[in-house]
Amino acid sequence: MPSNLLANLPDASAEEVFETLAEWPGIRLERIVSNGQITPEGEWYDQEQDEWVMVLAGAARLLIEDEGEIALGPGDTVFLPAHKRHRVTWTDTDQPTVWLALHVWAQAE
């Protein structure tokens, strides 16, 4: 049955909402809905897995360590290798920002 990632959005006014859409060994696909949330000052994401993200709706800014800040809007994507420190510095407060995130863990050989 088809679904629409922009329909029936959860209320993210109080906190970001993370929803797992699919999961396989070493891979997780999730929808993230933000509405004004940012990474707390002084904190960084430093993940064990690679992450590819796409903004489907809304807008956001990411600060990537040693690379600077980037603005993201609908259709924009970014690949964040494992342990590439990054933080969300801004998300739209006038409308939900909807992200699609693909997390991939390295497989043992």
Residue 67 has pLDDT above 90, yes or no: yes
- In the chain, the number of structural domains is 1
Phi first, then psi: give them for residue 102, nearest 5 degrees: -115, 120
Among 97, 19, 13, 12, CA closest to 56 = 97
Closest CA to 45 of 86, 15, 105: 86
The answer, yes or no, to whether residue 108 has pLDDT greater than 60, is: no
Specify if 7 maps to a domain.
no
Res. 107: pLDDT tops 90: no
DSSP letter (8 states) at residue 108: P
pLDDT of residue 79: 98
Residue 109, in any domain of the structure: no
- CA-nearest of 47, 34, 6, 21 to 95 is 34
What is the predicted pLDDT for the residue at 53? 98
Answer whether residue 98 is part of any domain. yes
What's the CA gap between 101 and 97, in Å, rounded? 13
Q: For residue 50, what is the domain's CATH number?
A: 2.60.120.10
pLDDT at site 106: 86
pLDDT band at 45 (very low <50, low <70, confident <90, very high): very high
Instruction: Examine residue 2 and state whether it is found in any structural domain, yes or no.
Output: no
What range defines the domain where residue 88 resides? 17-104
Residue at 1 is within a domain:
no
Give yes or no for residue 109 having a pLDDT over 60. no
Domain contains 64: yes
